[in-house]
Amino acid sequence: MTFENSKHFNLLPSSKIEFSFGTFFFLEKIIISELNEGIHFDWGKIEQVISAIGEHYGDQFEVGFISNRINSYSIEPQLWIDFYKEYNFIAASAVVAYNKFNYKNATLEKHFSKTSIKRCQTLNEAIEWILSLKEFN
């Protein structure tokens, strides 16, 4: 389920940013990504998203990140290591895995992440988990 089709879309104010490789939603405490089918999410694309995040949130902020994997795409798990060398604004992450392949990929990514990554079966589960974290209450 896309964020726009979820029950949370009308309840949680967000800004929608569309890139050629996917769509991102910036909420008060959450960033939700929905990448396009078949893309390879590399460091250049990450930098484009980081630029938009900086413009939206400013300098000092902390958010939860949700990867809503409605499409199949590729990412190099070690990019998490590179990301955390330069950036420190993600308190926790959730991956919404709609199939076994995405679930296995999320399991692999957990080994490379500096913060907690929760594997979820639904977008609602991911949003509710992020909002329940002590960092955001």
Q: Above 80 in pLDDT, residue 93?
A: yes
Query: What is the model's pLDDT at position 48?
Result: 97
| CA separation for the pair 82, 86 (Å, rounded) | 7
- Please count the structural domains in the chain: 1
Query: What pLDDT does 112 receive?
Result: 63
- Confidence (pLDDT) at 74: 87
- pLDDT in the model for residue 20: 98
- Residues 35-90: pLDDT tens digits? 999 999 999 999 999 999 999 999 889 999 999 999 999 888 778 788 888 898 99
Q: What is the pLDDT of residues 6-40, one digit of tens each?
A: 999 999 999 999 999 999 999 999 999 999 999 99
pTM, to two decimals: 0.91
Q: Which domain holds residue 80?
A: 3-136
Q: What is the CATH number of the domain that holds 75?
A: 3.30.750
Query: Which residues touch 108 (CB under 8 Å, ≥6 apart)?
Result: 77
110: confidence class by pLDDT, cuts 50, 70, 90 = low
Which value, in Å, is the radius of gyration of the alpha carbons in the chain?
A: 14
Q: Is 16 or 116 the better-scoring residue by pLDDT?
A: 16
